[in-house]
Chains A and B, each alone.
Chain A
Amino acid sequence: MIAPRRLARLLILLPSTRFGGTERHTAELAARLTARTGIAVDLAAEPALHSGLGERPGVTLRAAALGWEGAPAGQQAAETARLLAELRPDAAFVPLPWPDAASGILPALAAAGLPRLVLLHLAPEAPAPEAPPALGLERAMIAAVSAPLTRRAERAWGLEPGTVALLPNPAPPPPVMERQAARARLRDALGLPPDAKLLLFVGRLEEAKGADLLPDISDRLPATLACAGDGPLRGLLESRAMGDPRGLLRMLGPVADPAPWYLAADALLLPSRLEGAPLVFLEAAAHRCPVVATPDALEALGEAAPAMACLATSPDGRGMAEAAGAVLDDPRRFDGMLARAAALAARQDWAKTVETALGLLRAAVLRAEESAG
């Protein structure tokens, strides 16, 4: 007789201090897990993140001092212990924006013997540490959002090769909006004629995302570059935009729904230096917006990257501008690329991501059981 175990309550511990792709993904996944299974989800995060995470049915936001930057491991561990005692979850899920973001959370979960799933969203290419951190990951299910990240996670945490699973990011569903209408409307909003060339950047305005390259790229191209997002480089970029005599660099600030922009733009620029599995790429692909990217930005796609996007010949403004120029000059040349990218996005839908995540959560129960025996 195998006694059935039911995961009725899931605690998500989000060790993050600012809202970005990881956080958006986490909020969406939480909502979809509860919608699909009826599982009650508590999403614990810094109060500053709550407005970004949003109210979602079945998901209860919990204020917790789990922020990784600045929060000592001891504080994370104490907060984790408090949440476990208060909420008594059947399993825990820890999305990580960086490999060492949960050095207090993970040992506390291990000590409680709770079934747990750890999902790594981003990690640098780095040599293996001399002594792997004591995170108590031995009986946890561990996953990362791209193949390169699974290897980095194994290296950073001193795990056997092949122990970290892949949980690919999902793409949004295909658009329901009309492309021509979106093109005209947004160009009009920018004061541009309907046939003006328009490039797009969506992401955090920081060096890791290559946002510092945007003025240089813009200077080299006869097209408007609209930049959606916020971040440490926003002030600098805004002053560059103000001083742009051609008026082609435009700062949009944070954009709640970038979907119409993907429809309107002639290409998306993805000049990142470090990416996990970039959601913006999948979003652009789903909307059939050509992507111009550095090889590092699309590392997650592996060998398929050159077939899915127009890659920069060099990881700087010049390389990006050359690749973007090719797309603007002859967009029909890239129809095959667009179709392949759209097909990839169609394969990676939310239903599949949720199914895989649920499989990992169920397996976490079996994995955690070992500690008892």
Chain B
Amino acid sequence: MIGLRIGAAELVEMEAGAPAVVLAPGILLPHAPPLLALTLKEGVLVRPGGETARSLPLPPWAKLLALVGPEAAAERLLPLLPPGLPVLPDATALLGRLAEVLREARRSAEAAAAERDGLKRALAGQGAALPRRVIALPPGAGTEPAAPPLTQPLGRAAEGLCTVELHVAARAASGLIVRLLAGAQVIGLWRVPAAALLPGWLALDLPEPATATEDAILEVLAEPGAAPPQLSPSADHPRASLALRAWTAPPGWAVLPRHFDWAASGTPRPALPLPLPAALLSEAVTEGARVELVAAGAEPARLLLELPPGGEARLTLPATPIGPADLLRLRLVQIGAAASPISAAIEVTGLAGERVASGWRELDSSGALAVALPLPPGPMATLALALRHRGSAPALLELSGIALQAGAAGEPRRPPPAEASSASRAAVMLPGTSPGVQPAGWRAAPPAPRLSAAGPGGSPAPPSLAAPIQAPPGAAGFQEVKVNQHLVNAEGTYSHLDIGVAGLVSGGGLWRQLRLKLFDRRGAAGLEFREAKGWPQMFDVWPVGGSDNYGPFWRLDTEAAAAALPALATPHDRALIAALLDVLPDLAAKAAAAAGLAGPEAELWAARARRVAQAVAEVRGVRAAG
């Protein structure tokens, strides 16, 4: 094969990624771009009938897929071609060869990813990777605040970014949606509820530093509502940038991001344990102990507790989206003098009330305790830590490590999803073409829902309804709602709203199409789902309920919520109902408005929705306590 050359035009195609095969004389292939068919002519690989005048030596990286031709022709051609080239007797074998190449490429991508994750873990083990501030644009004095929608290029590549901070000018009544793009790829999407929009800097973390090399752009939108959030600009002229701070970090840095919409962000599964951020720890509610949150230098802050002698203390963290994590890792260390007799118990509660508890565990003789606890199925979890101190002097304890980890619980290996290509993470619009069912575990991100300031959006459910774990508002949202039917029977004993929902999204998943009936039957309010023509397939496993002339149905109502809930077979299905209940009052109000109802009648539907959510919450509350 010494001196093998390729036509310049053909090489350009290979450079663009076209797979290339060599055809023996007499073999023909239909035109099937991007597949590039080549023939050997005067020592030059060219398209059949192509010109050899402009040619270049075949570079080593330009790998040919196969030689297609009968045995006799192959024997003659092979010595002229790169060694090891597979021979296919005819073109029908080409698909098999392509599948083989695809498998090889996937294996090599997996090996590269495993190596990358290993390196990240090694780097993290070297010590704290501290973030570095790369953009600092303070709010300008005497400036008029800017209201979303806003687009703000960061003027740099996304690579290395770990945190972006926006400056909130004043309290707002509606939440904020921020999307960080690298080119067309969504690398982070945050839904910040109004309650979390305090005047001052608002930190938006990525779980791990971004790897995309395209330019970073921030898109800021407001959830629909009365008073949209206001952001501070950096100077007093109309083209001034937003007040902005941005941080980069080396690989090895990681954090569990707040308000992060895992389903809508194209972040790969994190390789490192994600430490809980200071902003979350600062919302810890403590009973029976003094507590401080202290950071040394640029290190993440740690929680410190002082336990009185003979005392019991309890620390509860607010509910947090757990994203792809399946394991909680926690480390307690007694600071100061000799180890005291202290025991600790950790309990994690999922959104549907599932509990995982460690039981009481003693600190060891060096005054340390490390606990790893599997997490209940997502999308949110609440963590509580109970402490007992049986010593006679006050004891100081540090929560020196608290992190969530993905893939630690021995996730079963699944074939990669068909659509797991870079295109699936691009900022494309909903609804997608393949309404594939989400798997129970975590997977590559589905397409990001379209951000729309004008359209109907997921305004948050009031926190009081999201009991028992106080899921923050904005944890779930939906994109579009339409009413198929508003029905009231002649006696007035039954009424329903038949509702279609597009783009329901929460930390636990994304559901492109939903349909449900919100009904009132003699005062009992409920939801009805059907397995019938015209109804989308919403559940991984159909929850078995009743059946009537129209086919199988599953109902969740205020009378028998406790009996209905166990029919939800998978964590993903439970996450669907949890997300739906989160947004149900808002959904009902919008549906009532769309049905032309107003005033008390519309309020009645919102109240029914709240009652359903409340009934489910109570059932979960009973479970959580028992």
Contact = CB atoms under 8 A, between A and B. Distances in A.
Given A34-B297, A38-B298, A358-B296, A363 B398 contact: yes
B419 interface: no
Interface stretch (B228-236, B275-283, B476-484): B275-283
B398 A359 contact: yes
Interface in A1-32: 1-8
Contacts of A166: 337
B545 to A, nearest CB: 44
B400 interface: yes
Nearest to A359: B335
Interface string B362-384: 00000000000000000000000
Interface stretch (B61-69, B284-292, B432-440, B463-471): B284-292
Most buried by A among B127, B283, B301, B337: B337
Contact of B296 (A37, A150, A367): A37
Nearest to B333: A359
B127 A366 contact: no
Contacts of B284: 2
A39 B294 CA distance: 13
A33 B338 CA distance: 24
Q: Which of A4, A150, A166, A370 has the most CB of B within 10 A?
A: A4
A164 interface: yes
Contact of A3 (B293, B299, B305): B293
A34 B299 CA distance: 11
Contact of A6 (B283, B301, B337): B301
A365 interface: yes
Q: Is the interface of A mostly helix, strand, loop or mixed?
A: mixed
A267 to B, nearest CB: 32
Contacts, number: 110
Interface string A179-213: 00000000000000000000000000000000000
Given A162-B393, A351-B127, A359-B400, A1 B297 contact: no
Interface string A341-364: 000000000010000001111110
Interface in A125-143: 141, 143
A2 B282 contact: yes
A363 B336 contact: yes
A365 B299 contact: no
B297 A165 contact: no
Given A165-B337, A363-B335, A39 B296 contact: yes
B302 interface: yes
A166 B335 CA distance: 10
Contacts of B292: 2, 5, 362, 365-366, 369
A303 interface: no
Q: Pick the most buried of A37, A163, A363: most chain B CB atoms within 10 A of its CB.
A: A363
Interface string B389-416: 0000100101010000000000000000
B295 interface: yes
A167 to B, nearest CB: 10
Given A6-B295, A141-B336, A38 B396 contact: no
Task: List the 9 closest A-B pairs by CB distance, nearest first.
Answer: A37-B297, A39-B297, A38-B298, A38-B297, A362-B294, A165-B336, A363-B335, A366-B292, A4-B293
